[in-house]
Chain A
Amino acid sequence: MSTDNALLKEYSQREYQHGFVTDIEADAIAPGLSEDVVRLISSKKDEPQWLLDWRLKAYRHWLTLKEPEWHNVHYPPINYQDSIYYSAPKQQPKLNSLDEVDPVLLETYEKLGIPLEEQKVLAGVAVDAVFDSVSVATTYKETLEKEGVIFGPFSEAVHRFPELVKKYLGSVVPYTDNFFATLNSAVFSDGSFCYIPKGVRCPLELSTYFRINAQNTGQFERTLIIAEEGSYVSYLEGCTAPKRDENQLHAAVVELVAMKDAQIKYSTVQNWYPGDADGKGGIFNFVTKRGACRGDNSKISWTQVETGSAITWKYPSVILQGDHSVGEFYSVAVTANHQQADTGTKMIHIGKNTKSTIISKGISAGRGQNNYRGLVKIQKGATNARNFSQCDSLLIGDRCGAHTFPYIEVRNTTSKVEHEASTSKVGEDQIYYCRQRGLPTEDAVNMIVNGFCKEVYAELPLEFAVEARKLLNVSLEGSVG
C-alpha cells in the first residue's frame, strides 16, 4: 500500500503531458489498418508487451467479425482501410486572434455562453499570457493529488500504473464484446484513466479540466474509471462547442468499475459535427459504454445530452452485480436535420435488491430519426429487482421519426419492472398559442423542449445543465417551420 501512495505522489508531481514527445510530431502514416499498424501504434506509445499482445488479440478477432446490421440507422459502408490510425498530436495554435476565426463558429460559442478565453483554446488561437492554462491545470492537479486521486491520460496510466490498468482493462467491456469495441481495443488512441482510492470523495468535477485542456479527443478513445470502496466521483465528458474531425468514425470505449459503497456519476454532453444541411460529412459516434456495479450498495449513473453526430449509436449500460446496487440512465437525444440516433441502455440485474431507473427523452426535428433501444434484464438470482423506465419522444414538425424498441427479459418472479412511454408533438397550435402571448416561435419551441427535458437536466451537474439547455436551443434553431 505504501508503495502505491509513493507512486501516486510521484505521478501527480510530474509535469503534465499534453501529448506525445515532439520528435514524433512530424510523423504521418498512410491510411489503412493492418497488424503492422497496430504494432506501430503500440510502439509509438512505448507500450509494454502485455498491452501489445492484447491489442493484437483484439485485431485478429476483429478480422473474424462482421459489422452488425440490426440497428435502425442507415449509413454508407465504412471503408476501414481509409482511415489513418495513428495521427500526430495536437498541433500548435495557428491563429493569432479571434478575429481570424469563422464568425459563425464564434456566434455559436457566444450562444453557448462559452467564456472568451476558452473560445480561444477551442478555436486554436494562441492563448493570452494572462490566461495560463497550464497553471490552472497545475492547481487542479494539486487538489486532486492531496486526495490521492489519479486522473490523467490513459497512455500515461499504462506506464505509471500498469497493474491497475492490466487488472481492469477489458474487465467490463472485453475485447470480444462487439465489432466496434474490438476495433477500439486494437487501435485505441488515448483517453482518460481515473482512479479514486478507498473512501475518497473526489473534490472536483472531473470535467473543467477536460475543456480547459481542449483534449485532442481521438477517434478511438479508451476510458477507464475505477472507484474503490466507499469512493465517489463525478466525471463530465465532452464539450458543448461543436467539434469537427477529419475522421468520420468515432468508436470509443468507456469502462466504469464501482466497488462496494462506491458511486460513479458519468455525464456526457456530445456535440460532434452532425453534418451539413444535407447530412453529409457528419461524425459517426459508435460508442460502447458500460459500468459494473461490482460491490454491494454501489451506484453508477449515466447522464447524457446527445445533440451532435450524424449518427449516434450507443447504449451506456450498467451491470448490477452487487446486492443493493443501483443503475441509472438519464438521456436527452436530439436528432435534427438528417441526424439519426439508435441509443438507449441495458440494465442487467444480477445481485439481490438491485434497482435501475431509465429516463429517456428523444427529440426529433427536421428529418431526424430517433430510436430508443433499451434492455432490462432480470437474471434468475436477482431477487427483488426493481426497474422503472420512461421513454418519451417529442416530434417537431412532420418529417421526423421516433421509434422505440424496449426489451424486457425477466427470469425472477419477485422483480418489478415498469415501463412507460409517451409520444407527443410540438404542435402548431401550441406554437400559435405561445406566439399569441408574445413569445416568438424559437422561444416557444425552446420552452416546450426544455420543459420536456427537465427531468434529465436535473441530473446533470449544475454548470453542465446550463450549457446543455443552451446547446439544445442552438441545435434546434431553424428546425421549426
Chain B
Amino acid sequence: MLEIKNLHARCDDTEILRGINLQVSAGEVHAIMGPNGSGKSTLAHVLAGREDYEVTEGEVLYEGKDLLEMEIEERAANGLFMAYQYPVEIPGVSNKYFLKAAMNSIRKYHKQPLIGTMDFLKLLKENMKLLGMEKNMMERSVNEGFSGGEKKRNEILQMAMLQPKLAVLDETDSGLDIDALRIVADGVNTLRSPERAIIVVTHYQRLLDYIVPDKVHVLAEGRIARSGDKSLALELEADGYAFLDTCSA
C-alpha cells in the first residue's frame, strides 16, 4: 500500500530525513522507534503533507499513486489519517460539527452521498462508547480544554469515524496513563483489518504490548538503521539505542 523510496526531507535548512526506505502492506502494523531527533515525527508529517517540510529527493507511492503530488486534503480523502502528537484546539467549532464536516468533505470528494444527521449521530455514539468518552465531549469545541489523554482519545475517535486505509499514529501514547493507554490501544486494535495499514510512531515499547506490531523499524539520524519483528522492540527496551553508535551513519 505504501512504498517509500529513498526519501530525503528538510525543514528550513536542516536535512532531517536522509534516505528512508519503507514498504507497508495492507493489514500490517509497523512500529517506528528511535531516539529524539531521529526524524520519526518528521516522517509522519511528510506523509501527511505538512508544508513546513520540503522533500528534496525520493518518492512515496500510496496505492500506486504519487503521494507527494497530492494536497493534504487529497491525501486524507484517499484514506490517509494522522493521529497528531499535539492535537490543536479549534475554539467555536464543536467536535460533532467538525467530524461531520470532515466526513462529508471526504464523501464529496468521492462524489458519494453525504451522511445524514441520524446516521452520523448513531455512528458517533457507538464509537464514543467504544472509547469510553463522555457524551458532552461532542458538544465541546474541538480539543478545547481537553486533557492530554482526552485529546489522544479524540484522535482515535476521529480515526474510527473516518475509517482510513493508512493510519499514522504519531506518539499516540505520550501523555497517557495506563488506563487511557489501554483504551486507546483497544480502539486502535478494533480498527485493525486486512484492508488497513497502521504505522505507529513511538518512543516506548509499552504501547507495543497492546498494539502488537508486525514489523519494527528503528530510525536514527534520518534513516532506518534496523528492522525486525516485535522482538526488536523488546531488545530496545532492554538495551536502549546504544547499538546505533556502532552502526554506520
Which A residues fall within an 8 A CB radius of B?
424, 427, 429-430, 432-441, 443, 447-448, 450-452, 454
Is B93 a contact partner of A437 (Cβ separation < 8 A)?
no
Taking A447-B93, A448-B90, A448-B93 as contacts, is the C-beta distance between A438 and B106 under 8 angstroms?
A: yes
Taking A432-B50, A432-B72 as contacts, is the C-beta distance between A451 and B92 under 8 angstroms?
A: yes
State the Cβ distance, A421 to closest chain B Cβ, in Å. 14
B247 at the interface (CB under 8 A from A): no
Which residues on B sit within 8 Å (CB–CB) of A429?
88
Query: How far is B72's CA from A435's CA once the two chains are assembled, in angstroms?
Result: 6
State the Cβ distance, A228 to closest chain B Cβ, in Å. 40
Query: How far is B75's CA from A434's CA once the two chains are assembled, in angstroms?
Result: 12
Is A447 a contact partner of B101 (Cβ separation < 8 A)?
yes
Name the one of B89, B91, B158 contacting A437, with C-beta atoms under 8 angstroms: B158
Is B90 a contact partner of A435 (Cβ separation < 8 A)?
no
Is B101 a contact partner of A439 (Cβ separation < 8 A)?
yes
Is A438 a contact partner of B105 (Cβ separation < 8 A)?
yes
Is A437 a contact partner of B102 (Cβ separation < 8 A)?
yes
B16 at the interface (CB under 8 A from A): no
**Interface extent on B, as a size class?**
20 to 34
19 A-B contacts (beta carbon < 8 Å): A424-B91, A430-B89, A433-B88, A436-B49, A436-B76, A436-B81, A437-B76, A438-B73, A439-B73, A439-B101, A439-B105, A443-B101, A447-B97, A447-B101, A448-B90, A448-B92, A451-B94, A452-B91, A454-B92
Taking A435-B76, A440-B73, A443-B101 as contacts, is the C-beta distance between A430 and B109 under 8 angstroms?
A: no
Taking A435-B76, A440-B73, A447-B98 as contacts, is the C-beta distance between A452 and B88 under 8 angstroms?
A: no
Which residues on A sit within 8 Å (CB–CB) of B48?
432, 436
B77 at the interface (CB under 8 A from A): yes
Is A430 a contact partner of B98 (Cβ separation < 8 A)?
no
Which B residues fall within an 8 A CB radius of A?
48-51, 71-73, 75-77, 81-82, 84, 87-94, 97-98, 101-103, 105-106, 109, 141, 158, 162
Is A451 a contact partner of B90 (Cβ separation < 8 A)?
yes
Name the one of B87, B101, B105, B109 contacting A433, with C-beta atoms under 8 angstroms: B87
> Chain A residue with minimal CB distance to B75?
A436
Which residues on A sit within 8 Å (CB–CB) of B158?
437
State the Cβ distance, A214 to closest chain B Cβ, in Å. 35
Is A440 a contact partner of B84 (Cβ separation < 8 A)?
no
In addition to A427-B88, A436-B81, A452-B92, 5 A-B residue pairs with Cβ atoms within 8 Å of each other are A438-B105, A438-B109, A439-B105, A451-B91, A454-B92
Which 6 pairs show the lowest CB-CB distances between chains A and B? A451-B92, A451-B93, A437-B102, A435-B72, A438-B106, A438-B76
Which residues on B sit within 8 Å (CB–CB) of A437?
76, 98, 102, 105, 158, 162
Name the one of A427, A432, A441, A451 contacting B141, with C-beta atoms under 8 angstroms: A451
Is A435 a contact partner of B73 (Cβ separation < 8 A)?
yes
Query: How far is B96's CA from A447's CA once the two chains are assembled, in angstroms?
Result: 13
Query: How far is B106's CA from A443's CA once the two chains are assembled, in angstroms?
Result: 12
Query: How far is B77's CA from A443's CA once the two chains are assembled, in angstroms?
Result: 14
Which residues on B sit within 8 Å (CB–CB) of A448?
90, 92-93
